[in-house]
Structure 1
Amino acid sequence: MTLDSLKPGQTARIVAVAWDVLAPDEGKRLRALGFDEGAEVGVSYRGVFAGSDPLAITIGRMTVALRRVHAAAMAVEQL
């Protein structure tokens, strides 16, 4: 299961990130925000445009707007 497949209100733990599918600068920014293996995340909201982009992802006490392509690179296990 990937992060982009979670529904609003669901929470999960990131188990793997396919860093090779992301541009190096994008990966660096995501790591700086805490998106890495072991982080607990939740989907707060899905956008209404073009395939539900962007996603509002809660990580820690932050809510971050994340493109669906970035969320698809993160494998998660539902909590």
Structure 2
Amino acid sequence: MVVRKSNVSARVESTLKRIVNESDFTHKDAYELGAKIIAKGTAEELLLAMNTDSDLEKKLKETEYEILEERKNQLERELKDM
């Protein structure tokens, strides 16, 4: 396996970052859990399960919508204050 030096967190979906921020886990915990899942060799199976779990997909979409709505409101406030 070739190790690439890059900023992984820049490629992580903002929705997933938000979920980590709102959980009891820190970013370090999230990376460690992810690394352990990859090391166990179950990451691919887990990703497939996550992508087919409609409840999880719905929760991710709801969270993504909330983030976008929050950002929209912030931009509207900034525009109003100009």
TM-score by length of 1: 0.26
Q: Which has the higher contact order (CA 8 A, sep 6+)?
A: 1
Query: Which is higher, the Rg of structure 1 or of structure 2?
Result: 2
Higher strand share: 1
